[in-house]
Amino acid sequence: MARLCGLCAGACGFACCASSRAITRRIEVPGRAFVLSVLAVGVVAPCMTVVAPCMTAIALATGAFLLGVVSDAPGVGAGANGPGQLISVTTSTAIQLACMLAVSGAAALSTARGLRSVSALSDASAPSAKATVSRTVGERDRGV
């Protein structure tokens, strides 16, 4: 039963990822929507810089809890836990820790990409960057 649930969860996750990517590729975004996205990313970026480290801190605290259970209370760690009482406390906590570390890594990567995009978009909106882009486009048109 657990394998069936895992298979269903994996299939649903893949379907959600694949369908959202397929839809995103087919959407044409008008130019003025980028102005809204720059504003939205500018608001979200500070939140990302707070949330990602907090997620990592919670994952590390869970790791410290797991080490404490394994070293100080092995009887509690060996107790049944989870659906159907099939796995132990340490196993379920280790699975949870692995998932939390994976999600924390994804959050850190998303934060780094988001901050890079904010800086790139803010650099592109600066007058000197616009002049540079206009000059290089003009040079390309003239064959320089």
Q: Where in the chain are the domains? A: 51-144
Question: What does pLDDT average to over the chain?
Answer: 75
φ/ψ bin of 120: left (φ > 0), alpha (ψ from -120 to 50), beta (otherwise): alpha
Q: Is residue 132 pLDDT above 50, yes or no?
A: no
What's the whole-number mean pLDDT along residues 49-61?
Answer: 89
pTM score of the predicted model: 0.57
Residue corresponding to tokens 């299939």: 11
How confident is the model at residue 85, as a pLDDT? 74
How confident is the model at residue 30, as a pLDDT? 66
Q: What does the DSSP assignment read for 80-115?
A: EESGGG-EEHHHHHHHHHHHHHHHHHHHHHHHHHHH
Query: What band does 77 get if pLDDT is binned at 50, 70 and 90?
Result: confident
pLDDT digits (tens, 9 = 90+) for 79-131: 887 667 778 888 888 999 999 999 999 888 888 887 787 777 666 655 554 44
How confident is the model at residue 112, as a pLDDT? 85
What's the whole-number mean pLDDT along residues 36-48?
Answer: 68
